[in-house]
Amino acid sequence: MLEIETNNCWVQFIEFVQNRCSGAEYSNWIEPIRLIQATPDEIVLEVPNIFVQEYLLDNFKDILAHFLPLKHTGDPAISFVIAEPLEAKMVLREPELIEQPAVQQDVKLNHLYKFDAFIEGPSNQFVKSAAIGVAARPGKSYNPLFIHGGVGLGKTHLLHSVGHYVLEHHPKSRVQLITTEGFINEVVDALRNKSIDKMKRYYRSLDVLLVDDIQFLQNRLNFEEEFCNTFEALINQNKQIVITCDKPPAQLKLSERIVARMEWGLVAHMDVPDLETRVAIIKHKSESRGFSIPNQIAFFIAEHIYNNVRQIEGAINRLCAHSRLMAQEMTEDVVEKILNEMFQSSSSNRKVSVESILKSVASIFEVRISELKGESRHKEIAQARQVAMYLAKELIDDSLMKIAAGFGGKTHSTLLHAWKKISDQVQVNETLRRQVQMVRRNIES
């Protein structure tokens, strides 16, 4: 008898909250909860994951306390069990599909973006293995997987790789990849065509949702909520979500709610690849275009383009095209000439400052900025300082006096002297020439 009453308490609680929260909130957070046992002292609830449990307690503890038996602390007496993500649920999906007229859309994955074409190095090993992890066990390891990093470092490549892998290993899975812009456009279209419910059903029926460039959701308030609801609906059914972004979640100008959701799973950073990895990428990309680049040239390119793999690809394409047309031997000079335009175009109309030169010189020559501005005659420091002065004269369009002042008040004749000396040295000293070039690229990138 009492048991039935406790049971009723839960039903009453459900009715109570149903009238007080939005449809999306209810279906994402409350509906997935199952009452599995009710005694006079306690109820046992089954939740799909820990987030639903936390959500329930964070938002409804006081209300629950009005309906349910209490512990001696005054808190509602509930124990939680986390539901096993049953393989069987996968099998059940077919009949569900018939009920849901959600259209299965083809997922458009770039066939070149697969895991085995993604070159690993210290900068991206962790992200790659996390991506393989979620692809191998969607919804069961990290959810969501949030990948962030600079432009052209392979975020989109990895995102597509997850899609390919899942479809190869579980061909029946429903996988969709969206760009944030694409998602927004779809919502707009669906609203116009009054098909928003259909769209919602479609997204909520996916097994894996891949979202590219979430930063574009910033300042799109109306869509943020729709996205967040879709996101929660999927996560709470243990469906996998992978997101890419140009910055970590905390730096996104999005609501606290959505930022917190992004941080639920694993946040992985993708760094700029180191020299060896860049060389390996160059070799791999050129070979896959049927074009073999000698090691020395691969290193040469890798030294000049270091913070964007997409630019490296651009360089390879240009070289391939050139070598097909000209049948010319690929020497460093030839390569430099071909790529020069490209190196410069990335730097044109950028204003260089003494500070940015000092910063780059300091990092490449491994000295402090204060030492560059100081008086030390220590050989390494003095040479680095002269390189900075040389580059300042080369790159800054200003009076020598003004430039010299940026070096802790040196005179313009000191600057001229340094410029002359380094100009001569780079003609004969190969190591120095390369170092100077690296600083230059670094400043110009």
Q: Which residues bind Mg ion (CB under 5 A)?
A: 155-156
User: In angstroms, rounded to a whole number, what is the distance separating the alpha carbons of residues 278 and 306?
Assistant: 7
Binding status of residue 313 toward ligand ADP by CB under 6 A: yes
Q: Which is closer to ligand ADP, CB of 310 or CB of 373?
A: 310
Q: Are 30 and 39 contacting, i.e. CB atoms less than 8 angstroms apart? A: no
Give just the sign of the alpha carbon dihedral 288, 292, 297, 298: positive
Smallest gap from Cβ 286 to ligand ADP, in A, equals 12
Q: Which is closer to Mg ion, CB of 147 or CB of 316?
A: 147
Binding status of residue 138 toward ligand ADP by CB under 6 A: no
Smallest gap from Cβ 90 to Mg ion, in A, equals 30
Backbone angles phi, psi at 81, to 5 degrees: -125, 145
Query: Can you tell me which of 10, 60, 67, 118 binds ligand ADP, judged by CB under 6 A?
Result: 118
Q: Which stretch binds ligand ADP (CB under 6 A): 91-99, 249-257, 307-315, 413-421?
A: 307-315
In the chain, count of helices (H) and strands (E)? 21, 8
Of these partners, Mg ion, ligand ADP, none, which one is at the site of residue 230 (CB under 5 to 8 Å by kind)? none
Query: Can you tell me which of 220, 310, 322, 412 binds ligand ADP, judged by CB under 6 A?
Result: 310
Q: Which is closer to ligand ADP, CB of 40 or CB of 122?
A: 122
Of these partners, ligand ADP, Mg ion, none, which one is at the site of residue 153 (CB under 5 to 8 Å by kind)? ligand ADP
CB proximity list for 228: less than 8 A, separation 6 or greater: 255, 257, 258, 261
Q: Which is closer to Mg ion, CB of 53 or CB of 156?
A: 156
Query: Can you tell me which of 114, 148, 157, 164 binds ligand ADP, judged by CB under 6 A?
Result: 157
Binding status of residue 151 toward ligand ADP by CB under 6 A: yes
Binding status of residue 275 toward ligand ADP by CB under 6 A: no
Q: In what order do the strands lie in the sheet with 208-212?
A: 175-179, 208-212, 240-245, 145-149, 266-270
240 DSSP β-pair partners: 208
Q: Are 308 and 153 contacting, i.e. CB atoms less than 8 angstroms apart? A: yes
Q: Which stretch binds ligand ADP (CB under 6 A): 39-47, 87-95, 110-118, 421-429?
A: 110-118
Binding status of residue 156 toward ligand ADP by CB under 6 A: yes
Residue 91: CB atoms within 10 A of its CB come to: 10
Q: Which stretch binds ligand ADP (CB under 6 A): 118-126, 177-185, 227-235, 341-349?
A: 118-126
Of these partners, Mg ion, ligand ADP, none, which one is at the site of residue 309 (CB under 5 to 8 Å by kind)? ligand ADP
Of these partners, ligand ADP, Mg ion, none, which one is at the site of residue 124 (CB under 5 to 8 Å by kind)? ligand ADP
Query: Can you tell me which of 52, 78, 309, 391 binds ligand ADP, judged by CB under 6 A?
Result: 309
Binding status of residue 177 toward ligand ADP by CB under 6 A: no
Q: Which is closer to Mg ion, CB of 268 or CB of 352?
A: 268
Place of tokens 């606290």: 256
Q: What does 149-216 look like in DSSP terms, one character per residue?
A: E-TTSSHHHHHHHHHHHHHHH-TT--EEEEEHHHHHHHHHHHHHTT-HHHHHHHHHT-SEEEEE-GGG
Q: What does 296-309 look like in DSSP terms, one character per residue?
A: HHHHHHHHH--S-H
174, burial (CB in 10 Å: exposed 0-12, middle 13-18, buried 19+): buried
| Encoded amino acid at 278, one letter | R
Q: Which is closer to ligand ADP, CB of 114 or CB of 441?
A: 114
Smallest gap from Cβ 150 to Mg ion, in A, equals 10
Radius of gyration of the chain (CA): 29
Residue 149: CB atoms within 10 A of its CB come to: 22
Residue 427: CB atoms within 10 A of its CB come to: 10
The residue at minimum Cβ distance from Mg ion is: 156
Binding status of residue 163 toward ligand ADP by CB under 6 A: no
Of these partners, ligand ADP, Mg ion, none, which one is at the site of residue 151 (CB under 5 to 8 Å by kind)? ligand ADP
Q: Which is closer to ligand ADP, CB of 339 or CB of 426?
A: 339
Smallest gap from Cβ 152 to ligand ADP, in A, equals 5
Token duo for residue 279: 């060389």
End-to-end CA distance of the chain: 75
DSSP 8-class letter at 246: S
Smallest gap from Cβ 323 to ligand ADP, in A, equals 20
Binding status of residue 410 toward ligand ADP by CB under 6 A: no
Smallest gap from Cβ 228 to ligand ADP, in A, equals 23
Q: In what order do the strands lie in the sheet with 34-38?
A: 34-38, 43-47, 78-82
Of these partners, ligand ADP, Mg ion, none, which one is at the site of residue 92 (CB under 5 to 8 Å by kind)? none
Interface positions with ligand ADP (CB under 6 A): 113, 117-119, 124, 151-157, 281, 309-310, 313
